[in-house]
Amino acid sequence: QVQVVESGGGLVQAGGSLRLSCTTSGLNFDGYVMGWFRQAPGKEREGVSCISQSGFTLNYADSVKGRFTIRRDNTKNTLYLQMNSLKPEDTSMYYCAAGFYCDGYLAPRNYNYWGQGTQVTVSS
């Protein structure tokens, strides 16, 4: 049984930082592209960032470039998202997902396994 579990969300002031983590079980972690997505109430789920199996290919949404950094540790089956200079518009539920394709479009349809999400709230 595949499990994807996010952690690290919380409440932070604008300009602050958070680090999200995602652990998986039941799948061959280093065989999957991993991605971060977010969805705010009333909005569609949008891609934030993805990373290839080796970690050499990274893609970011324009809205987070220069502020967020994705990283993976295949020895720990763990994905990370370091979020700096947070803005109120970053407030959302953040999801981790495992899939097979990482490109600049960051399309959710390319991901097969999803976590339950972790809430990030940025106050102004």
What digits encode the pLDDT tens for the residues 23-58? Answer: 999 999 999 999 999 999 999 999 999 999 999 999
Distance of CA 55 to the CA centre of its chain: 14
Provide φ and ψ at 3, rounded to 5°.
Answer: -130, 135
Alpha helices in the chain (DSSP H): none
Report pLDDT for 104. 86
Q: What does DSSP say about strands 92-99 and 78-83: parallel, antiparallel, or unpaired? A: unpaired
Q: What sign does the dihedral 82-75-28-53 (CA atoms) show?
A: positive
> Is the pLDDT assigned to residue 5 strictly greater than 90?
yes
In tens, the pLDDT along 65-115 reads 999 999 999 999 999 999 999 999 999 999 999 999 998 899 999 999 999
Give the span between the Cα atoms of 50 and 9, in whole angstroms.
Answer: 18
Instruction: Give the list of residues 6+ apart from residue 42 with CB closer than 8 angstroms, or none.
Output: none
If you count them, how many residues does the chain have? 124
Report pLDDT for 100. 93
Give the span between the Cα atoms of 72 and 67, in whole angstroms.
Answer: 17
**How many C-beta neighbours within 10 Å does residue 68 have?**
21
